[in-house]
Amino acid sequence: MVQQVLYRALVSTKWLSECVRANRIGPSLRVLDASWYSPGERDALQEFRDRHIPGASFFDIEECKDKTSPYELMLPSEAHFADYVGHLGISNDTHVVVYDGDDLGSFYAPRAWWMFRVFGHRTVSVLNGGFKNWVKDGHPVTSEISKPEPAVFKATLDRSLLKTYADMVENMESKRFQVVDSRSEGRYRGTEPEPGNEGLDPGHIPGSLNMPFFEFLTEAGFEKSPEEIRSMFQEKKVDLSQPLIATCRKGITACHIALAAYLCGKPDVAIYDGSWSEWFRRAPPEHKLSEWKRNKA
């Protein structure tokens, strides 16, 4: 694998708090709350309105998606993404820091991180530890809603970081890419149900390996060290020098795989955006491995 200088994928709460205190949040540094929760669990937008990092804007993943797709939370078009983040005051020269309020420390933030990268923006970081640790560390919060001056953002889709259903079907034959599924072992194997009411049975794509995304996080909600992460990949016999595709339920927690590999110096992990949500609905029965029907019987 060719080593290259990578933009820092993580920033600390201490570093960001110093930026807030120095009034550096502005055109050159924008902070986004990318929280999302299942309907009926928590209200991400209301929680943002109640308290957030000073100067942060709300990144609404339900608005920044392809609303015409039958699948869950698919990428928007280049024009849609450019317009959406431009209205948040983000230009191609802006350093973007993303976080979310999940109790794990990080859940949706890596998806936002990957979205910027797949649209050609490299100066983007995840707040290590998330809002949970921002609050725990005693850093300031506010309910004041900032109104950033709109900026011009040019989005250019990097197709090397994105895989489609057709790509996954082709990979079934060529096996050019390793495939890693970031869902829990039970959902991957089909011994526990998929959450929600979308009619999805659990299971996985043949040939894919399972690395639950939450195992990349410490109990306190921080990313594990590159050394620990590298050992985790080695244990699963995932070769970081070779091409890799990450998948999950809807292309969200798969981005934790991409972030983890990035921290090990591998910036080219592709995401299967449709993930199991699309694969379950489109793939023939023999290409869906699951213990679910046996268990229900």
Check: CATH 3.40.250.10 for 10-157?
Answer: yes
Catalytic position from the list 19, 64, 248, 255: 248
Output the CA angle 211-62-24, nearest 5 degrees: 85
Q: Give, as one character, the DSSP assignment of residue 217.
A: B
pLDDT tens by residue, the chain, 297 residues: 334 468 999 999 999 999 999 999 999 999 999 999 988 899 999 999 999 999 999 999 999 999 999 998 999 999 999 999 999 999 999 999 999 999 999 999 999 999 999 999 999 999 999 999 999 999 999 999 999 999 999 999 999 999 999 999 999 999 999 999 999 999 999 999 999 877 899 999 999 999 999 999 999 999 999 999 999 999 999 999 999 999 999 999 999 999 999 999 999 999 999 999 999 999 999 999 999 976 654
Report d(CA 257, CA 271) in Å as an integer. 9
248 catalytically annotated: yes
pLDDT score, position 5: 63
53 contacts: CB under 8 Å, gap ≥ 6: 16, 20, 31, 33, 99, 131, 134, 139, 140, 141, 142
Listed by start position, the domains of the chain span: 10-157, 160-296
Tell the CATH topology of 160-296: Oxidized Rhodanese; domain 1 (3.40.250)
Give the global pTM: 0.96
Pairwise CA distance, residues 193 & 203, whole Å: 9
The answer to whether 101 touches 131, Cβ cutoff 8 Å, is yes
For residue 149, the 8-state DSSP code is P
